[in-house]
Amino acid sequence: MNQKKQIISTALKNLVIFLAPLLILSSCAGLSQKSLTKPPVKEKQIPAVPAPKKEKDELSKAYTDFTMAMLAISHRRYEKAREYLTKAIERDPESVHLNRTMALVLKKLKHYQEAALFAKKCVDLDGNNVRHHILLADLYTLSGQSDLAIKEYEEILNIKPQNRRARLILSTILIRKQRFKEALHQLDRLLNQNPDLVIAYYYRGRIYLELKEYENAEKAYKDALDRNESLEPALFDLGTLYQMTNRPRKAVETYRKLVSLYPDNLITRERLVNLYLKMGQKKEAEKETLEIKRHSKPGEPGRQALGLIYLREGKLNESIEELELIVKAWPNDYKSRYYLASAYEKKGNTEKALEHFGMIKAGSDYYTNARLHMAYLLQNQEKYDEAIKILEEIITALPDKAEASLMLASIYEEQKKYDEAIPIVKEGLRHTPRNVDLLFRLGVLYDKKGDKDSCIREMKGILNIDPNHAEALNYIGYTYAEAGINLDEALAMLQKALKLKPDSGYIIDSLGWAYYQKGLLDKALTLLQKAAKLTPDDPTINEHLGDVYTKKKMYTAALERYKRALSLHHPHEEQIKEKIKKLNKTMEGIK
């Protein structure tokens, strides 16, 4: 998983910190002792004419069932309470209190969708009572029906604009739905009503961080910390921001404060270790690693941080040892299992890697990436059918998952089935038309198929999206140089690509080859020698250097390069053999 994405993902989870208690705790309020002493269940106005005996009997039975339900609730026997309430509601379906009590019992049982049906009945029967709207909105939120929840919280705020809790939860849902402008509007309303509301400043920071408005995010987090300097998620996210904006010292300072307040925050300690290692402060990293050991025991979930540190340092045996203990104790800790599988993959133990990737279940945050790894490993084993099946499943479920489309296309490309690979990439582009990785692969496939015009078209399409895409600049420049056309344009593109990636042996080779085609042999030689040093095992670079040596009549050096190109399995082996044959004849003639 990409490290920056992981940083953002971890920070996003802080949104739930405040939301969950607000929703869950409210389930207790409706089932308080006060509910047990509530007057009879029938809220209807007493009729002028006495009710028939049959109706009185039904109401009496409903009251008895209600009383038994309340007794069951007092003993926390919620399933039994549900049975009694079901009978009571059958006898008195229009009772708001019965329907509300049933909704609260079902909420306790975590049957949120079913509970919402009874809460909706309360709203229909008594729409002016904001308590019923709040219950319904909470249940929609808990059951994942966020669009319905938004409408209900908006209705609550129409009735009671000062309801801080409703506005706060509405803001949270809007953030999670990435409706950031609407969320900011709600947060502004909250802060107008409550200028010192810490959580509102924190949520502002979250939004601005998502929008990459880093200055605004930093200010919002600091506003939150000015009002509560020990707010853990704000400190964590501020450290995240400093990492994302390449301010490692500020990140370390923030994380150090966080662990001084919360010594058991092992995720933060893991980040400190990684930052210290990047900054070359190995002793500090070792100290922090010892702190992780001190604050956790082998096999505890918190020990995961240590396993990940060892994995990043390349200490694969130590990483495997830590993570194996965790997954034995916590089989459903899919993050630990994912990185355990990754450690086995890096170690070259493909079977163990496949075993652990395969144990990660659908619905986990790590499921799709685990399946991608499995497909990659199976492809390397040339088990193409199994790999294709996995990738097709991913694409069916997530058609905009470009990595799956790229990998599936690469399997067909590896087998030189370009006509099968191209439609896969095109389908991926239908869902993500500006994905430069897919566009680049499409260009490469056209090139391998021999369709140079289509290749150049796709590469130029990339430059329309990203003018500084070094690989596309290099591909066009090299294609022109190889064909001996548009050499001035090729040189300009390749020089730009080299400025973007000055240490790329492949770009240096392309530029050297363009100079060779222009007849500027000295420039070509200097560049191709440098390319061969940077990328010594590329057969084409060795061939190009051999060609320059041949032109400059440095035959011994040329022969050495051609032989090396051959030993590196040059794709055009016969062509290299022919060059060696001609060169040997030339050298014999000189003798």
Q: What is the pLDDT of residues 427-446, one digit of tens each?
A: 999 999 999 999 999 999 99
**In what helix (H) or strand (E) does residue 212 lie, and over which residues does it extend?**
none
Task: Report the distance separating Cα 136 and Cα 123, nearest Å.
Answer: 8
Task: Report the distance separating Cα 347 and Cα 317, nearest Å.
Answer: 9
Q: Torsions phi, psi of 387, nearest 5?
A: -65, -45
- Check residue 416 and give its pLDDT: 96
- Check residue 35 and give its pLDDT: 45
Look up residue 138 and give its two tokens. 């909470």
Look up residue 221 and give its two tokens. 């987090």
pTM, 2 dp: 0.70
Residue 41 is classified by DSSP as: S
Q: Which of 101, 122, 179, 115 is nearest to 146 (CA)?
A: 179
Q: What is the CA radius of gyration of the chain?
A: 33
- Single-letter amino acid, residue 57: D
- Check residue 24 and give its pLDDT: 46
- The number of residues making up the chain comes to 591
**In what helix (H) or strand (E) does residue 178 lie, and over which residues does it extend?**
none
- Check residue 59 and give its pLDDT: 83
Domain boundaries, the chain: 536-591
Q: Angle at Cα 179 formed by Cα 173 and Cα 185, nearest 5°? A: 85
Residue 300 is classified by DSSP as: S
Tally of CB atoms within 10 A around 321: 15
DSSP states of 104-153: HHHHHTT-HHHHHHHHHHHHHH-TT-HHHHHHHHHHHHHTT-HHHHHHHH
Q: Which of 473, 449, 445 is nearest to 460 (CA)?
A: 473
Task: Report the distance separating Cα 383 and Cα 522, nearest Å.
Answer: 48
Look up residue 279 and give its two tokens. 């900054």
CA 466 to chain centroid? 23
Look up residue 7 and give its two tokens. 């940083």
CA 122 to chain centroid? 40
Residue 144 · residue 171 · CB < 8 Å: no
Low-confidence spans in the chain with pLDDT less than 50: 3-5, 7-13, 15-18, 24-25, 27-29, 32-49
Residue 357 · residue 344 · CB < 8 Å: no
528: left (phi over 0), alpha (psi -120 to 50) or beta: alpha
